[in-house]
Structure 1
Amino acid sequence: MNAERALLVLSRARLPDAVARALLQAWPDPVAALEAARHGGAGRLDAGSRQALMRPDPARLDADLAWLGGGRRRVLACSDPDYPALLAQTPWAPPLLFVDGDVDLLWFPQIAIVGSRRPSAAGRERAFAYAAAFAGAGWAVTSGLAGGIDTQAHLGALTAWRTVAVVGTGPDRVFPPGNTGLQARIAAAGTVVSEHPPGTPAIAAHFPSRNRIIAGLSLATLVVEAALRSGALITARLAAEAGREVFAIPGSPDNPLARGCHRLIRAGAGLVEEPADVVSELAPVAASLADQLRGRLGTAPPRVAAGAAAVQPGPTADHSRLWSALGHDPIPLDVLVQRTGLTVATLSSILLTMELDGQVVVDNGRYARRS
Structure 2
Amino acid sequence: MDVSELRQRLEHEPKSLSLTLPVPLTAAVWRKVEMAQLWQQQASHHHLICRADPLYPPLLQQIADPPSILFIKGHPETLLRPSVAIVGSRAASHGGLSLAFQFAAELDSIGLAVVSGMAAGIDGAAHKGALSHSGQTVAVLGTGIEQIYPKRHRQLYEDIQQHGAVISEFWPEVTAFAGNFPKRNRIISGLALGTLVVEARRRSGSLISARTAMEQGREVFAIPGAVLSGDHQGCHDLIKNGAKLVESLADIIEELSPLLQSHLQALPSYVPLQTEHNSQLPFKTLLASVGYETTPLDVVVEQSGITLDLVLEQLLELELQGWVAAVPGGYVRLKRN
Q: Does the TM-score normalized on the shorter chain lie above 0.5? A: yes
Indicate which of 15, 22, 37 corresponds to 1:65: 37
- Map 1:266-345 onto structure 2 (within 5 A): 266-291=240-265, 306-307=269-270
Indicate which of 193, 197, 211 corresponds to 2:185: 211
Matching of residue 245 in structure 1 with residue 224 in structure 2: no
Q: Deviations over 1:20-60 (max 9, x none)?
A: 8xxxxxxxxxxxxxxxxxxxxxxxx9862x535335575x6
Indicate conservation of the 8 Å contact 1:224/1:261, yes or no: yes
Give aligned pairs, total.
Answer: 268
Unaligned segments of structure 2, at least 5 residues: 272-337
- Cα RMSD (Å) of the superposition? 2.5
Change (3 A) 1:203 1:9: farther
Task: Determine the structure 2 residue equivalent to 1:258.
Answer: 232
Q: CA offset at residue 8 of structure 1? A: 6.3
Indicate conservation of the 8 Å contact 1:113/1:221, yes or no: yes
Change (3 A) 1:118 1:63: same
Matching of residue 7 in structure 1 with residue 10 in structure 2: no
Unaligned segments of structure 1, at least 5 residues: 21-44, 292-302, 309-371
Task: Determine the structure 2 residue equivalent to 1:148.
Answer: 121
More helix by share: 1
Q: Deviations over 1:71-112 (max 9, x none)?
A: 222211122222110000010211111111111111111000
Task: Determine the structure 2 residue equivalent to 1:317.
Answer: none
Between the aligned partners of 1:196 and 1:11, the Cα distance in structure 2 is 13
Structure 2 length normalisation: TM-score? 0.73
Between the aligned partners of 1:287 and 1:125, the Cα distance in structure 2 is 30
3-state DSSP of counterpart to 1:160: coil
Indicate which of 75, 80, 84 corresponds to 1:102: 75
Change (3 A) 1:128 1:46: closer
Q: CA offset at residue 170 of structure 1? A: 1.0
- Name which one, 1 or 2, has greater alpha-carbon Rg: 2
Change (3 A) 1:202 1:5: farther
Q: Counterpart of 1:135 in structure 2: which amino acid?
A: D
Change (3 A) 1:139 1:147: same
Indicate conservation of the 8 Å contact 2:74/2:164, yes or no: yes
Q: CA offset at residue 268 of structure 1? A: 0.6
Matching of residue 130 in structure 1 with residue 129 in structure 2: no
- Map 1:159-174 onto structure 2 (within 5 A): 159-161=132-134, 162-174=136-148
Matching of residue 16 in structure 1 with residue 10 in structure 2: no
Indicate conservation of the 8 Å contact 2:260/2:267, yes or no: no
Indicate conservation of the 8 Å contact 1:10/1:53, yes or no: no
Between the aligned partners of 1:223 and 1:62, the Cα distance in structure 2 is 40
Task: Determine the structure 1 residue equivalent to 2:274.
Answer: none
Percent identical pairs in the alignment equals 41
Indicate conservation of the 8 Å contact 1:111/1:220, yes or no: yes
Higher mean C-alpha displacement, 94-103 vs 261-270: 94-103
Indicate conservation of the 8 Å contact 1:12/1:197, yes or no: no
Q: CA offset at residue 277 of structure 1? A: 1.2
